[in-house]
Structure 1
């Protein structure tokens, strides 16, 4: 069985606010730690039937990048759900609704203008 390890390192200031986030993976192109300004980590707890989350962003994460990060995350969550659903027609309809919301969010947050 193949195994991979993902490592996250977070440096905090005296108030426990993230200043630096680095991540690395044993299955990536490089094992060097790469910087990140924000992260969302979600895990499913099968015993309690709920999600466990860690949402972190560094002090220097610009607001315009945070808006874009949320937009991109919503879009990719839809992609992931479609792959996981195995072609369920209801999932495709609901993801269409999510795509509509993402377009609305992107328009209101003015992140779509950056695309071109």
Structure 2
């Protein structure tokens, strides 16, 4: 069995606010640490049937980038759910609703204008 490791290194200031976020993976082409400004990590706890999350962003993460990060995360969550559903027609309908909401979010938060 193959294994891979994802490492996160978070540097905190004196108030425990992230200064820097760096990550690396043993399964990537490049195992060196790469910087990130924000992260969402969600894990499913099968025993308690709930999700566990870690949401972090650095204090220098610009608000415009955070809005874009949320938009893209919502979009990719839909993609992931579609893959996980195995073609369930109800999932496809619900993801269509999610895509509509993402478009609404992007319009209200002026995310699409920022794409250039």
Give TM-score scaled by structure 2 length.
0.98
In the other structure, the counterpart of 1:44 is 44
Q: For 2:53 and 2:9, how far apart are their aligned partners in 1? A: 16
Q: Which residue of 1 aligns with 2:109?
A: 109
How well do the aligned residues superpose, as a CA RMSD in angstroms?
0.6
* Alignment match, 1:27: 27
Which residues of structure 1 form unaligned runs of 5+? Answer: none
Quote the offset at 1:59 in angstroms. Answer: 0.4
Q: Where has structure 1 moved over 6 Å in runs of 4 or more?
A: none
Shift of 1:50: 0.2
Using the TM superposition, give the Cα deviation of residue 114 of structure 1 relative to its aligned residue in structure 2, in angstroms.
Answer: 2.4
Equivalent positions of 1:1-116 (< 5 A) are 1-116=1-116
Kindly tell me the number of residue pairs found equivalent between the two proteins. Answer: 116
Alpha-carbon offset, residue 115 of structure 1: 3.0
SS at match of 2:42: strand
